[in-house]
Amino acid sequence: MIEHWMMDAAIAWTANNPTPSPTPTFDPNKVTPGVLGFSVIAIFFVICALLVWNLIMRVSRMSHRSQVRAELALEKARAEGRDLDANDPDAEGIFRQDDAPRDGDPGAKTPKR
């Protein structure tokens, strides 16, 4: 019984005394980032885009150089009259990792081209 009376009193008190909303102490029009903020973000975006482009070019260049080295090693081995297998140190980059012979395999698979 007392609990109900206390609950009713709390509800009545909060209904009669609403929580005041805070009044802003600043002008919302003066705290926007403006042209300077936009410029900084735009410059940051351009720098990030250039870094990503540079990374893509470097990875592409390294991949192409690796492929050329592998093709030169294969041509050199063929000119010497020998076949490369996945265990040959000159075959680095020619065979994929999953092409290496395993126990029970008759030998290496064909090189990738």
Q: Which of 14-18, 64-68, 95-99, 107-111 has the highest mean pLDDT?
A: 64-68
| 93 closest CA partner among 58, 60, 68 | 68
User: At residue 42, what is the residue type?
Assistant: A
Residue 17 has pLDDT above 70, yes or no: no
What pTM, to 2 d.p., does this model score?
Answer: 0.46
Average pLDDT, stretch 2-11? 74
pLDDT confidence of residue 51:
98
Delimit the domains of the chain by residue range: 32-113
Please give the helix or strand (H or E) that residue 53 lies within, else none: helix 34-79
| 92 closest CA partner among 79, 106, 77 | 77
pLDDT confidence of residue 81:
78
**pLDDT tens, position by position, 22-74:** 777 777 777 788 889 999 999 999 999 999 999 999 999 998 888 888 888 77
pLDDT confidence of residue 108:
47
pLDDT confidence of residue 1:
58
Residues near 87 by beta carbon (within 8 Å), at least 6 away in sequence: 100, 101, 108
**pLDDT tens, position by position, 72-99:** 877 887 888 776 665 666 565 555 555 4
